[in-house]
Amino acid sequence: MSVRTPDPYPGWLSDEDLYEARNRLPMIYVEAVPVRLDPLGYVNEVGLLLQADEEGSMVRSLVSGRVLYRETIRAALIRHLEKDLGPFALPQLPVSPVPFTVAEYFPSPSQTGYTDDRQHAVALAYIIPVTGDCNPRQDALELTWMSPEEVLSPAVQSEFSGGRGDLVRQALAFAGLCR
């Protein structure tokens, strides 16, 4: 049995290593659609992040991020929910780690409709009820709570990039709110 020095940055890649990995391997992500529920458990609000994209345009987005090496799906969801919504969001993780869908992102347009200019990514997508106070952090400028009808409106759908508007539509369909 050999004794190893622990990695001081477990699960993290240098910028150069991440660039190389993204050019050779699909990256695994989690994406979360934060929702507020009414007393009967129906979705009555959807939380959308407002961020600036690489060109400086404002876009709507979801809680999203990579799953790190040796990190569970649940741990990745909690980490990204806290990172994007703040430590007092009080997310309620699902009992099972089964996503409502799997979204496959490609660096150029493909049959999936999902794009990510940086990489080929596979995202496990979840609907996550949130009961606490949300204060966006990191790259998000604000979190806006909208009714499902507002989220599905053409104006809001046009604010998403990379196919994420369709992902939100799928989440709401999964929750029984649209077809």
Quote the number of domains for the chain: 1
Single out the residue of 31, 13, 32 nearest to residue 23, CA to CA: 13
Q: What are phi and psi of 76, to 5 degrees?
A: -65, -45
DSSP state of 130: B
Q: Is residue 46 part of a domain?
A: yes
Helix (H, G, I), strand (E, B) or coil at 13: coil
CATH code at position 84: 3.90.79.10
Q: How far apart are CA 128 and CA 131, in angstroms?
A: 10
Is the pLDDT at 65 greater than 60, yes or no?
yes
In this prediction the pTM is: 0.87
Q: List, for residues 8-46, the tens digit of each pLDDT value.
A: 555 677 888 888 887 888 899 999 999 999 999 999 999
Q: Is residue 145 part of a domain?
A: yes
Name the residue range of residue 98's domain: 25-174
